[in-house]
Every structure is written in C-alpha cells, then in structure tokens.
Structure 1
Amino acid sequence: MSAVACLCAAAAYAAGSGAFRTGTDDKVAVPVTDRRTAGYCAALHALLPSRLNGLPRHDLKPRSDLVAGWGRPTVVLRCGVPRPAVDADPDTPAASVGGVTWSFEQDRDGGVRMTTTLRKAYVELYLPPEYAHDAGPLVDLAAPVRRSVPEGI
C-alpha cells in the first residue's frame, strides 16, 4: 500500500481518536529527553532540509535542536517524544517510506500526527489539515532520520 493510501486509511481509522495539537505556528512544546536521545535529535536537526515538500523552514519558539517547523500553517517536527500509546495496538495504521516506518493518528480537526517506530529516538511529525493528505514530507525526512537515528528500541 502506498504512503498516500495509508494516510487516507488513517483518516478513516482515527477520525474519533481525539484532538491533539503539537503546537501553534510560533510556539511548540519541546520534548524532555535523556542525553543519548538528545544526541540523536541534534544529529537529526543538523540534517533537516531547508524545505519540506516545498515548504520553507522557519524557527519555532523556543529554539531547540528538538523541534523544527516548515510552512504556514506550520508542519512541526519534534524529536525525543515519548512512544505513542497507539504503537501498542497492532492495528495502528503505519507506513514505511524510504526505510523509515511511521505510525499515525488523525485529530478531530483533520491534522495528522506521525511518529517513527523502531528507532532509538521517537520523531514526531504533525501535519496540519492542509497538508495531512500528502506523504511528501515523509519522503523528505527519510534520509535524515535514517542517517541520524539508529534503528532499535
């Protein structure tokens, strides 16, 4: 199944899963991590693209190697988040793109939160409703995630 088809399936599956927002256009919650995870996240931050699926990168508040944003409304990446509870459910929708597997949930507003699986640090990507149908960001993030966050749990 293609990543786009998986995203559409996630929309149907998760429509009632509850609302969540990672942050606003300017301010975002920075994850609290241990030193090892922070190292993986700093390495990822250094490799993140200046454009994500054509959207320009911009600073978030507070500035941190654990967060990044692109476009308006903002696509938000957070590194070092806790393992999502939905990952315990074997029926949680997931997609593998460029060698990186992501689980995903949809909020009530139509946005989608995706989180890497089977990596030493969890990387979360929040796509606002305007971008929730597009797998392009996952393609753009595959190489940076593969190169900076080792597989394993």
Structure 2
Amino acid sequence: MTSSYHRLFRTSAAAALLLSAAVACSPTDVTASSAVPTPSAEVAKYCEALHKELPEKVIENVGRTELSPESPLTAGWGDPAIVLRCGIDRPAEVGDPKANGVEVNGVSWVVDDRGEDGLRFITMYREAYLELLVPASYHADAGILVEFAKPVAKNIPKSLEDPKF
C-alpha cells in the first residue's frame, strides 16, 4: 500500500508541475516581440516624441500591449499585437510606382496587403519611416490610420525627399 501511495503522490506532483508550467506559459502572460529599429539619433528623437503621443486604444477599442524588448521605437496594441515600428530603414515599397498608397489627414502611407498575414502600412514623405503591422484577425482597413495621423503629423516632420521612382 505504501508503494501505491508513493506512485500516486509522484504522479500528482508531476501533473501539478506540468499544469503550473502550462499556466505560466498561457497567452495572457505572453509579451509580443518586435525587432527594434536602429535609426540615426535625429530620427530616434522624432520617434521618441511620437511614442509619447500614440493612442492608448485603436480599432475596436484594442488597448496597448507590452512588446519585448521595450523601446520608444516600438509600440503594440492587442493580442495578436498590432505593431508600430518607428525609424525603420527606407523600405523598397516606398519607391515602387505600383505600390498602393493612401493619404489620411495629411499623412501619406503605402498600403501592403499581405493576405493572411494582414496589412502593412508604411509612411511616406516623412523624416522617419514608420511601419504599422495589422494582423488579418482585426479585419482592418486604412481607417486604422486615422488614430495615427495626428501624432505622426505633429512629431515626424515632412521630408523634402520625393520617392525615387
């Protein structure tokens, strides 16, 4: 009887350990990750100013979420995360004459529909390039850019550089 008791105890302890590991790894504890851009000091200053004025909520009242690593060059909303990265290198899409574009409240964006991966928006004609990645699960369109237009227009100066077509 003693050996059955020890076996039961070991099995229960192992199950409890696995359960606690599963809870520790649950989605509520997961922090989204995003590569942090490495812009020049001037561009980083624009991005840091922008970061302070980003909206707390975006489409469908989706609130801010933490990204890893934390940085004033990145921000996130929701789960899965809508991710903004400021100070990215100039993407090829910006100079593509076939790229879809949209202007929202004075801010121009390239719209890259990535199908099942969602939408990628990239600013144009600004001193810093921003990328906004919106997962397909949000069923978003360019309307999400309204939330970002005012802070971008205020903190990222217009560029004199035209895209090279």
TM-score, length of structure 2 as denominator length: 0.74
Q: How many pairs does the alignment contain?
A: 130
**Secondary structure of 1:47's match?**
coil
Q: Which residue of 2 aligns with 1:7?
A: none
What is the CA-CA distance between 1:134 and the residue it aligns to?
2.6
Residue 80 of structure 2 is aligned to residue 73 of structure 1: yes
In structure 2, C-alpha distance between the alignment counterparts of 1:64 and 1:116, rounded to whole Å = 20
Gaps of 5+ in 2: 1-29
Mapped pair 1:61 → 2:68? yes
What corresponds to 1:102 in structure 2? 109
Give the Å deviation of 1:147: 0.4
What percent identity do the matched residue pairs reach? 42
Partner of 1:8: none
The normalised TM-score by structure 1 is 0.80
Q: Deviations over 1:25-69 (max 9, x none)?
A: 611100011100000000000000111122101110000000000
Match of 1:84 in 2: 91
Matched, 1:29 2:23: no
Which structure features the higher share of helix residues? 2
* Bigger radius of gyration: 2
| Contact preservation (8 Å) 2:115, 2:136 | no
Following the alignment from structure 2 to structure 1, what is the Cα–Cα distance between the partners of residues 141 and 116? 16
The 3-state SS of whatever aligns with 1:109 is helix
**Distance in 1 separating the partners of 2:56 and 2:98:** 34
Mapping of 1:119-134 within 5 angstroms? 119-134=126-141
CA distance in 1, matches of 2:142, 2:115: 19
**After TM superposition, which residue ranges in structure 1, 4 or more long, deviate above 4 angstroms?**
none
1:70/1:35 Cα in 2 relative to 1: closer, same or farther (>3 Å)? same
